[in-house]
Structures are given as C-alpha cells and as structure tokens.
Amino acid sequence: MYVVHAGDVVNTASSTHQWENAAAAMALLEDPSTTNLRDGIPYGILPGNHDFPTENHNAYFAEYIASPVAITTVVTRGQ
C-alpha cells in the first residue's frame, strides 16, 4: 500500500496554520495506531500550485510534511 498526494497540500502557502493542519493530517498515515500497520502507510507528496512559490513552502514543507518518518526510500525490483 502506498498513498500519493497529488498536490495542493495547502490552499494558501503563506498560512502557517494550513501547513500545521496538513502535517496533522499526513501524520495519521505515519501513525501505527491509526493505520494498524507497524510502520504506518508510506506516502509521497507532489507540491501543487497552491503550495508555492512562497518562503513558507521552503520553510514549512520540510518542517511539517517531510518528516523523517514520511521520507521513504524507493527500492526498485532487483536491487
């Protein structure tokens, strides 16, 4: 199982409140207690047009969304 977020993590990139809400929502996927999976559900996010171009995208995407748990390594077949 893998979840793909196709963009527009927030509606207004300058809103720290929206980044905090997005992080809380994505954290549900990371949490074994909400997913009943040992490591949660791996996911990837593609920033949408509402997610940038502001300084908040650069500052908050890494802080709120791309946590160490959320960053996954993709291993291709045969490696």
Instruction: Identify the band that residue 26 occupies on the pLDDT scale cut at 50, 70 and 90.
Output: confident
Q: Does residue 74 belong to any structural domain of this protein?
A: no
Find, among 2, 1, 12, the residue nearest to 44 by Cα: 2
| Long-range contacts formed by 57-63: CB under 8 A, 24+ apart | 57/13, 60/16, 60/19, 61/9, 61/19, 63/19
Cβ(27)–Cβ(65) below 8 Å: no
The per-residue pLDDT for range 27-68, each reduced to its tens digit, is: 898 899 999 999 899 888 887 888 776 676 777 776 766 654
**SS3 (DSSP) at 24:** helix
Task: Tell me the whole-structure pTM to 2 decimals.
Answer: 0.68
Instruction: Tell me, yes or no, whether 12 lies in a domain.
Output: yes
Q: Which domain covers residue 9, as residue numbers?
A: 3-65
Write out the two tokens for 56.
């908040």
- Whether residue 28 is contained in a domain is answered as yes
